[in-house]
Amino acid sequence: ANIQSIMASEKQVNILMQLLDEALKEVDQIELKLSSYEEMLQSVKEQMDQISESNHLIHLSNTNNVKLLSEIEFLVNHMDLAKGHIKALQEGDLASSRGIEACTNAADALLQCMNVALRPGHDMLLAIKQQQQRFSDLREHFARRLASHLNNVFVQQ
Protein backbone atom coordinates (compact mmCIF):
# COMPACT_ATOMS: atom_id res chain seq x y z
CA ALA A 1 0.00 0.00 0.00
CA ASN A 2 2.93 2.34 0.64
CA ILE A 3 4.17 1.85 -2.91
CA GLN A 4 0.73 2.65 -4.28
CA SER A 5 0.56 5.66 -2.03
CA ILE A 6 4.00 6.83 -3.16
CA MET A 7 3.08 6.21 -6.82
CA ALA A 8 -0.20 8.11 -6.46
CA SER A 9 1.60 10.87 -4.66
CA GLU A 10 4.25 11.01 -7.43
CA LYS A 11 1.46 11.31 -10.01
CA GLN A 12 -0.10 14.12 -8.01
CA VAL A 13 3.28 15.83 -7.70
CA ASN A 14 3.74 15.54 -11.49
CA ILE A 15 0.24 16.93 -12.08
CA LEU A 16 0.97 19.70 -9.58
CA MET A 17 4.28 20.46 -11.33
CA GLN A 18 2.50 20.61 -14.71
CA LEU A 19 -0.09 22.96 -13.23
CA LEU A 20 2.67 25.11 -11.76
CA ASP A 21 4.47 25.17 -15.13
CA GLU A 22 1.24 26.24 -16.87
CA ALA A 23 0.62 28.85 -14.18
CA LEU A 24 4.16 30.20 -14.64
CA LYS A 25 3.60 30.39 -18.42
CA GLU A 26 0.35 32.31 -17.83
CA VAL A 27 2.13 34.62 -15.37
CA ASP A 28 4.81 35.26 -18.04
CA GLN A 29 2.09 36.05 -20.61
CA ILE A 30 0.32 38.34 -18.16
CA GLU A 31 3.62 40.10 -17.37
CA LEU A 32 4.24 40.60 -21.11
CA LYS A 33 0.74 42.05 -21.52
CA LEU A 34 1.20 44.28 -18.47
CA SER A 35 4.55 45.46 -19.82
CA SER A 36 2.92 46.20 -23.17
CA TYR A 37 0.08 48.09 -21.45
CA GLU A 38 2.60 50.03 -19.39
CA GLU A 39 4.43 51.08 -22.57
CA MET A 40 1.14 52.15 -24.14
CA LEU A 41 0.19 54.11 -21.03
CA GLN A 42 3.60 55.79 -21.02
CA SER A 43 3.10 56.74 -24.67
CA VAL A 44 -0.37 58.13 -23.87
CA LYS A 45 1.08 60.05 -20.91
CA GLU A 46 3.77 61.57 -23.14
CA GLN A 47 1.14 62.53 -25.72
CA MET A 48 -1.04 64.08 -23.00
CA ASP A 49 1.97 66.04 -21.74
CA GLN A 50 2.62 67.29 -25.29
CA ILE A 51 -1.05 68.25 -25.68
CA SER A 52 -0.95 70.05 -22.35
CA GLU A 53 2.17 71.95 -23.42
CA SER A 54 0.56 72.77 -26.77
CA ASN A 55 -2.56 74.03 -25.01
CA HIS A 56 -0.41 76.19 -22.77
CA LEU A 57 1.41 77.65 -25.77
CA ILE A 58 -1.89 78.23 -27.61
CA HIS A 59 -3.29 80.00 -24.54
CA LEU A 60 -0.14 82.11 -24.27
CA SER A 61 -0.33 82.96 -27.98
CA ASN A 62 -4.00 83.94 -27.66
CA THR A 63 -3.21 86.12 -24.64
CA ASN A 64 -0.39 87.81 -26.56
CA ASN A 65 -2.67 88.34 -29.58
CA VAL A 66 -5.31 90.00 -27.38
CA LYS A 67 -2.66 92.28 -25.86
CA LEU A 68 -1.22 93.10 -29.29
CA LEU A 69 -4.69 93.90 -30.66
CA SER A 70 -5.30 96.16 -27.68
CA GLU A 71 -2.04 98.03 -28.32
CA ILE A 72 -2.77 98.37 -32.04
CA GLU A 73 -6.29 99.64 -31.34
CA PHE A 74 -4.88 102.16 -28.85
CA LEU A 75 -2.35 103.44 -31.39
CA VAL A 76 -4.82 103.56 -34.27
CA ASN A 77 -7.47 105.30 -32.16
CA HIS A 78 -5.07 107.89 -30.76
CA MET A 79 -2.58 108.47 -33.58
CA ASP A 80 -4.81 108.52 -36.64
CA LEU A 81 -5.67 111.90 -38.09
CA ALA A 82 -8.70 111.96 -40.37
CA LYS A 83 -8.05 112.69 -44.04
CA GLY A 84 -10.43 115.64 -43.84
CA HIS A 85 -8.30 117.18 -41.11
CA ILE A 86 -5.13 116.61 -43.11
CA LYS A 87 -6.71 118.25 -46.15
CA ALA A 88 -7.91 121.20 -44.04
CA LEU A 89 -4.41 121.75 -42.66
CA GLN A 90 -2.79 121.45 -46.09
CA GLU A 91 -5.32 123.28 -48.24
CA GLY A 92 -8.02 124.77 -46.00
CA ASP A 93 -9.32 128.22 -46.92
CA LEU A 94 -7.95 130.58 -44.29
CA ALA A 95 -10.02 133.48 -45.62
CA SER A 96 -13.50 132.05 -44.96
CA SER A 97 -15.13 131.38 -41.61
CA ARG A 98 -15.98 127.82 -42.68
CA GLY A 99 -12.35 127.20 -43.71
CA ILE A 100 -11.03 128.74 -40.48
CA GLU A 101 -13.37 126.50 -38.44
CA ALA A 102 -12.21 123.43 -40.37
CA CYS A 103 -8.55 124.40 -39.86
CA THR A 104 -9.14 125.04 -36.14
CA ASN A 105 -10.80 121.65 -35.68
CA ALA A 106 -8.03 120.00 -37.67
CA ALA A 107 -5.33 121.76 -35.64
CA ASP A 108 -7.00 120.62 -32.39
CA ALA A 109 -7.16 117.04 -33.69
CA LEU A 110 -3.50 117.22 -34.75
CA LEU A 111 -2.53 118.54 -31.32
CA GLN A 112 -4.35 115.64 -29.64
CA CYS A 113 -2.55 113.14 -31.87
CA MET A 114 0.82 114.74 -31.20
CA ASN A 115 0.26 114.87 -27.43
CA VAL A 116 -1.01 111.32 -26.96
CA ALA A 117 0.59 109.66 -23.92
CA LEU A 118 2.49 106.78 -25.47
CA ARG A 119 3.06 103.65 -23.45
CA PRO A 120 6.59 102.43 -22.77
CA GLY A 121 8.18 101.02 -25.90
CA HIS A 122 5.81 102.66 -28.38
CA ASP A 123 8.35 105.34 -29.21
CA MET A 124 10.72 102.62 -30.40
CA LEU A 125 8.32 101.47 -33.13
CA LEU A 126 9.21 102.69 -36.61
CA ALA A 127 5.56 103.30 -37.53
CA ILE A 128 5.15 105.55 -34.48
CA LYS A 129 8.28 107.51 -35.34
CA GLN A 130 7.08 107.91 -38.92
CA GLN A 131 3.61 109.03 -37.81
CA GLN A 132 5.10 111.54 -35.37
CA GLN A 133 7.29 112.87 -38.20
CA ARG A 134 4.22 113.20 -40.45
CA PHE A 135 2.46 115.14 -37.70
CA SER A 136 5.48 117.44 -37.28
CA ASP A 137 5.73 118.01 -41.03
CA LEU A 138 2.00 118.72 -41.22
CA ARG A 139 2.22 121.14 -38.28
CA GLU A 140 5.16 122.99 -39.87
CA HIS A 141 3.43 123.15 -43.26
CA PHE A 142 0.25 124.53 -41.68
CA ALA A 143 2.23 127.00 -39.56
CA ARG A 144 3.98 128.33 -42.70
CA ARG A 145 0.64 128.60 -44.54
CA LEU A 146 -0.98 130.39 -41.61
CA ALA A 147 1.99 132.77 -41.16
CA SER A 148 1.98 133.56 -44.88
CA HIS A 149 -1.78 134.16 -44.86
CA LEU A 150 -1.59 136.42 -41.78
CA ASN A 151 1.35 138.31 -43.31
CA ASN A 152 -0.68 138.90 -46.49
CA VAL A 153 -3.69 140.09 -44.45
CA PHE A 154 -1.58 142.58 -42.46
CA VAL A 155 0.28 143.81 -45.55
CA GLN A 156 -3.02 144.51 -47.31
CA GLN A 157 -4.28 146.63 -44.41
27-86 pLDDT tens trace: 999 999 999 999 999 999 999 999 999 999 999 999 999 999 999 999 999 999 999 999
Are 93 and 118 in contact by the 8 Å Cβ rule? The answer is no
**How is 20-80 classified by DSSP, letter by letter?**
HHHHHHHHHHHHHHHHHHHHHHHHHHHHHHHHHHHHHHHHHHHHHHHHHHHHHHHHHHHS-
What pLDDT is stored for residue 12 in this prediction?
86
For the chain, give every domain's residue range. 1-68, 79-156
- What value does the mean pLDDT of the chain take? 94
What pLDDT is stored for residue 11 in this prediction?
84
Are 79 and 113 in contact by the 8 Å Cβ rule? The answer is yes
Q: Give the Å distances, CA to CA, from 17 to 24, 27, 43.
A: 10, 15, 39
What pLDDT is stored for residue 1 in this prediction?
63
128-145 pLDDT tens trace: 999 999 999 999 999 999
